[in-house]
Amino acid sequence: MRCTAKMLALLGVRSKELVTVEPGDDDWYANLIWLDRRKCLLLVHAGTLFSVFVPDARKSGLVPVGPSVVALIHRELETESLPLDRLGILNSSAIAFAKTDSLAACDARELNRQAISQRSSVWRSGQPRFQGKRAAGSLAGDDGVLWHRRSE
């Protein structure tokens, strides 16, 4: 899980606990954002832009990190009627923390911008994220569709 400095600070992750790995489409990005004066957690899957938005995020609700993050992702997958393994098998005991590097941070900001735009309107309206035909550029499966970033 690639975390911003704010997220690492909230979780109390020290620099010696960080791993160094190349960015990939299977990465999850975690960021703390402020929306309507509320601290919120935004998790974004790099390869698909599938996002998990958690308003009023608190450390007590996120620790231990592995089980809580996997539960949040699974809850969102279930909400979207997607199989729990759609984004791969998520192992709560195998979560490693990495910082976003400068290039990844730019990508993470873009992921955040897109996901916030998509999710904040849903959060405020209470409407389902997808209605009718789903967006072009999605990954189709036998049992559903998953949001996917467009290559331009």
First to last CA, the chain: 25
In eight-state DSSP terms, residue 78 is: H
pLDDT band (50, 70, 90) for residue 147:
very low
Average pLDDT, the chain: 76
Residue with tokens 């190349």: 22
User: What pTM does this model have?
Assistant: 0.69
Mean pLDDT of all residues in 91-112: 70
The structural domains of the chain, with segments of one domain joined by +, span 2-146
102-139 per-position pLDDT tens digit:
544 445 556 566 665 655 555 455 554 544 334 333 44
